[in-house]
Amino acid sequence: MTKYIVEGGNPLFGEVHISGAKNAAVAIIPAALMVDGVCRIENIPQISDVSLLLSILQDLGASIRTINRSTVEIDCTGIRNGQFLEEFMAQTFRQKQDVTLCYLDLEGVDDINNTYGDKVGDAYIQNFVEIVRKNFRSGDTFARLKDDKFCLALSGNVKHLIERKMAEILAIFQRDDDRIFCHRCNFKYSIIEVVGEENTSTLEELLSGAEAAIRRKKRTRSSSLDFVDW
């Protein structure tokens, strides 16, 4: 059995780093959801509970920026997920409003994760999300559906506006290729215009059609645009 023998009468000196309290960290991190802006949280402990909470916030659509081993910045501005999109579209369908969906498939995430690690992969996703957000209004619905799949929903029939914006976003995104990620930054997208008075499709059917269009595009190596008429 290990024993510690302490001999008194000697002064103590030196420095001890005190890590942040676990119970405080796991309460403070989710509280960032209530803030409309960037939260900087310092002295957080390096434990699995903290990593899991940050991962959950990312899945919900938050932007997580790691400053150092014990400091992160969390931006929950405009956070949206698949459930929010479902609720938004349910209301749109009930009111028979026109809406334009843009289904986005971010490419290269698995390759970056496998080659450079999850942190670089997370930064790649965050960079993409921030560029998209900056090019649309804060009131527009931008949801992360799963992993590298996203969806924009804009009121009205605005296909041409989204086409122009996607071209601008792709150009900005690809400027960061080798300079930041040592990887070709790219994404594919499909645009769906839904006429409220005529639509009989569910959100699931619309997204399935958009995903199928992207699969066709990948097989044919076509351009980033594929318009699905509903």
CATH number of the domain residue 131 falls in: 3.30.70.270
pLDDT on residue 178: 56
94 & 140 share domain: yes
The contacts of residue 131 (CB under 8 Å, 6+ apart) are 169, 172, 173
Q: Which of 24, 56, 79 is the last residue before a domain boundary? A: 79
Looking at the structure of the chain, the number of domains it has is 2
176 & 201 share domain: yes
Structure-token match 């969390």, residue found: 74
pLDDT on residue 177: 61
26 & 65 share domain: yes
30 & 135 share domain: no
113 & 198 share domain: yes
pLDDT on residue 198: 93
The values of phi and psi at residue 145, to 5°, are: -85, -50
Could you give the CA distance from residue 37 to residue 74 in angstroms, rounded to a whole number? Answer: 8
CATH number of the domain residue 74 falls in: 3.65.10.10
pLDDT on residue 181: 60
pLDDT on residue 229: 42
Residue type at 210? Answer: A
Beta carbons of 100 and 154 less than 8 angstroms apart: yes
Beta strands, E only, 79-217: 99-107, 141-146, 149-155, 186-194
Could you give the CA distance from residue 58 to residue 144 in angstroms, rounded to a whole number? Answer: 9
Could you give the CA distance from residue 204 to residue 103 in angstroms, rounded to a whole number? Answer: 12
89 & 63 share domain: no
DSSP alpha helix (H) spans, 61-108: 82-94
Q: Which of 24, 51, 79 is the last residue before a domain boundary? A: 79
141 & 189 share domain: yes
Give me 192's structure tokens.
Answer: 């769906």
Beta carbons of 122 and 181 less than 8 angstroms apart: no
Q: Which of 79, 98, 132 is the last residue before a domain boundary? A: 79
24 & 109 share domain: no
Beta carbons of 78 and 62 less than 8 angstroms apart: no
38 & 88 share domain: no
Q: Give Cα 52 to chain centroid, integer Å.
A: 15
pLDDT on residue 21: 86
87 & 62 share domain: no
Closest alpha carbon to 187 in 197, 176, 179: 176
Per-residue pLDDT of the chain (230 residues; tens, 9 = 90+): 788 887 888 887 888 878 888 888 999 998 888 776 678 999 998 888 998 998 888 777 777 888 888 898 887 765 677 778 888 999 999 999 999 999 999 998 888 888 888 778 877 888 888 889 889 887 788 888 877 889 999 999 999 999 999 999 998 888 866 556 666 788 999 999 999 999 999 999 999 999 999 988 777 765 444 444 44
Could you give the CA distance from residue 42 to residue 25 in angstroms, rounded to a whole number? Answer: 9
50 & 95 share domain: no
Residue range(s) defining the domain that contains residue 52? 1-79
Q: Model-level pTM?
A: 0.68
148 & 96 share domain: yes
